[in-house]
Structure formats: structure tokens, C-alpha cells
Amino acid sequence: MNAIAKFLRSPIGQKWIMALTGLFLVSFLIVHLSGNILLLLPDNGRTFSAFVDWMESRWIIRILSILLFLGFTLHIVQGILLYRYNRKAKGARYAVTATDNSTWSARHMALLGIGILLFLILHLWDFFFPMKVLKAFPHQQLYDEVVQTFQNPLWVIAYVLGMVVLGLHLSHGFQSAFQTLGIRHPKYTPFIVAFGKWFSILVPLLFAIIPIALYFKFS
Ligand code: HEM
């Protein structure tokens, strides 16, 4: 037990926590996108509302919701700690030299993470807080609230920008997580890298289409 705690406090252990929580959040993105894409069905939100109804009546979803918030918190706190550790280790803030051939995203993961955090605060303020904390509207009204939110072009732009930042963060984070966990193999690594690239383009793109489509459908 002591050995595990010691490992988790070491820089490698902290990177493992980042990788594991990151992959957990990736799995959330897939589920969240699958539900939200129902907003685009031409049925005035019937299927989306039925899905929300189903989610609201399942205790397992509540537990997953708590795990999700713990996952986000751990990923953010650990990210800050690792960023500070790297800065100290390098003696200067993410020093970039001419020989540094890492991608822009890889060198700016912390900055991109802050961008996602800002998006998340705005996003939770839009739907989660009014519906679940303030009880300002019932979950049956969620479709109308989403449609109304995306009648504001500034909100659409904010969401699209948020998805660009998410895509850049994932474009490095996805394959980096596998590398951290030591999942490297001449046969499988090219597949993981290619899958990560496609994932970091397709998932944010599909998320971004939702506010754009709702804006043009109802305005
Ligand atoms: C533009 C695309 C998106 C739309 C239309 C959207 C829509 C929604 C809606 C309607 C809710 C309230 C549902 C509920 O709380 O049960 C929600 C909750 C949430 N969304 Fe999104 N979302 C989008 C993108 C994202 C992204 C990219 C992330 C993560 C980076 C995210 C993270 C969350 C979280 C953490 C919650 C609270 C989940 C919970 O209830 O436990 N969303 N979203």
C-alpha cells in the first residue's frame, strides 16, 4: 500500500494519474456526444428528451456523474502540480529551443487545459447549474433551453472556439496517455496515433456542429 502511495506521488505516478483520468474523460466525451447528437434529429427534441428522461431516472448515472466530477477535478489538480514540477525542473517556463521538435499542442497542454476549464465553467453555467443545482427549470425543458441558448451567435462562437481548444488538447493528450502507461508496440502504436488524430478532429467537430446547426435551424 505504501509502495502504491509512493508511486502515485512520484512524477511518473502523477503522469499515470493524468493519463488514466484523461482516458476516463475521453470515454465521457463519447457518451456525452452520443446523447447530444440526438439534438439534431428532426423530431423537435422528442428522442433527446426521452434520453434525458431515461438518464434522470437511473441511479447509476448519478454515481457516474459524481465520478465524472472527481475525474475532472483530479485531472485539473494533477495537471497544475505537473506543470509546476516541469517548470521547476526546467528552471524556466517550458523552454522552447530550435531543436525542440514537439508539436505546438504538446508544448501548450497546460494553456489548452485552462481553455477547456473556462469552456467547462461557461458550459456548466448554461445547463447543469440552472437545471440540477438551482432547479430553475425541469429536465423535460432541457431541449428548449439548449435551443434558446444557441440562438445567441456569441454563444455559438464560444462553443466552437471551445471545441477547437478541446481538439488541440486531445491531439496530443490521447496518444500521450498510452505512451505514459507504457502501451507501446511496433504493431499497435501507429494505430493508436492515427486513431488519436481522427478522434481529436471528429469528436470536437461533431460537438461544434450541434450549436451551429441549432442556430441555423431556429433563427
Ligand atoms: C457543443 C456541444 C455540447 C452540448 C450541446 C452539450 C450539452 C450539455 C447539456 C444539455 C448538459 C446538461 C445535461 C445534464 O446535466 O444532464 C451538459 C452537461 C455537461 N456537459 Fe456538455 N455539451 C457539449 C459539450 C461538452 C464538452 C465538450 C464537455 C467536456 C469537455 C462537456 C461537459 C459536460 C459536463 C461535465 C456536464 C455535466 C454532466 C452531468 O450532469 O454530470 N460538454 N452538456
Residue 96 has pLDDT above 90, yes or no: no
Total number of domains constituting the chain = 1
CATH of the domain at 91: 1.20.1300.10
CA separation for the pair 128, 88 (Å, rounded): 37
- Determine the pLDDT at residue 1: 66
**Residue 97 pLDDT grade (very low, low, confident, very high; cuts 50, 70, 90):** very low
CA separation for the pair 185, 141 (Å, rounded): 49
CA separation for the pair 151, 132 (Å, rounded): 22
Q: Which of 30, 32, 150 to mutate to test the pocket of ligand 1 (most atoms within 8 A of CB)?
A: 32
CA separation for the pair 184, 15 (Å, rounded): 16
Contacts of 151 (CB under 8 A, 6+ apart): 215, 218, 219
Instruction: Confirm if 39 and 48 have CB atoms less than 8 A apart.
Output: yes
Sign of CA dihedral 168, 183, 31, 73: negative
Atom of ligand 1 lying closest to residue 55 CA? 16
- Burial label for 158, CB within 10 Å (0-12, 13-18, 19+), is middle
Task: Return the axis-axis angle of helices 11-36 and 2-9, rounded to nearest 10°.
Answer: 80
CA 32 / ligand 1 centre spacing (Å): 7
Atom of ligand 1 lying closest to residue 64 CA? 41
Contacts of 13 (CB under 8 A, 6+ apart): 6, 7
CA separation for the pair 169, 97 (Å, rounded): 21
Residue 101 has pLDDT above 90, yes or no: no
Q: Which of 99-113, 176-190, 192-206 has the lowest mean pLDDT?
A: 99-113
Instruction: Confirm if 147 and 97 have CB atoms less than 8 A apart.
Output: no
Q: Locate cell 496517455: which residue?
A: 177
Per-residue pLDDT reduced to its tens digit, 4-48: 889 888 889 999 999 999 999 999 999 999 999 999 999 999 999
The residue range of the domain holding 186 is 2-218
Per-residue pLDDT reduced to its tens digit, 166-182: 999 999 999 999 999 99
Q: Locate cell 514540477: which residue?
A: 85
Instruction: Confirm if 39 and 214 have CB atoms less than 8 A apart.
Output: yes
**Residue 89 pLDDT grade (very low, low, confident, very high; cuts 50, 70, 90):** confident
Atom of ligand 1 lying closest to residue 119 CA? 30
170 pocket-lining for ligand 1 (C-beta < 6 Å): no
- Determine the pLDDT at residue 87: 87
